Amino acid sequence: RRRSSALPALSVFLERLAESSPNAAGDRRWLYVPYDQLGANLGPLAREPADELGIVVVESAWKARRRPYHKQKLALLLANQRQFALEQAGRGVAVRFVATDAPFGAAPRDVASELGPLRAMLPAERELRVELEPLAKDELLEWIPHEGWLTTPEDFAESQGDPPWR
């Protein structure tokens, strides 16, 4: 669900996205793309036909207020997310962009309730994985192994023996 905003930059972006995003009608496989995976060189975005995919991108003001992030870092993150959404729409991927004040777990839950379960590559950020885990438990989110990682947590634990690891 797109939320309108008084912020002119967001309004302009949403208008441009609506113009370039293909119609999401029909059967598409939906993929949640977290802010730490804005690339199309790995996973389903690299392998699956664009006209069969849809992505969900969440912009959360809640995340920005959680800590005293540097304003330029936040601006870069938002610009990256928006540019990524436009690039994917341009190649034929349906884009569901959600701007919200809620935590990251709430928006994908709402979208999955509407579209059906989402897929997502396991986020690199532990905090985000923990926040999204309830969606996986409720079968609204299916984890896909991240293809960019050289090892899994299980590989690491096996290689270290018994804790404490040093």
pLDDT of residue 149: 80
Distance, in Å, from the CA atom of 29 to the CA atom of 52, rounded to the nearest integer, reads 6
pLDDT digits (tens, 9 = 90+) for 7-50: 677 888 888 888 887 776 568 999 999 988 899 998 999 999 99
Q: Can you tell me the mean pLDDT for 71-79?
A: 90
pLDDT digits (tens, 9 = 90+) for 77-100: 899 999 999 999 999 999 999 998
pLDDT digits (tens, 9 = 90+) for 128-165: 999 999 999 999 999 998 888 888 778 877 887 776 76
Distance, in Å, from the CA atom of 166 to the CA atom of 159, rounded to the nearest integer, reads 12
Quote the radius of gyration of the chain (alpha carbons, Å): 17
pLDDT of residue 5: 45
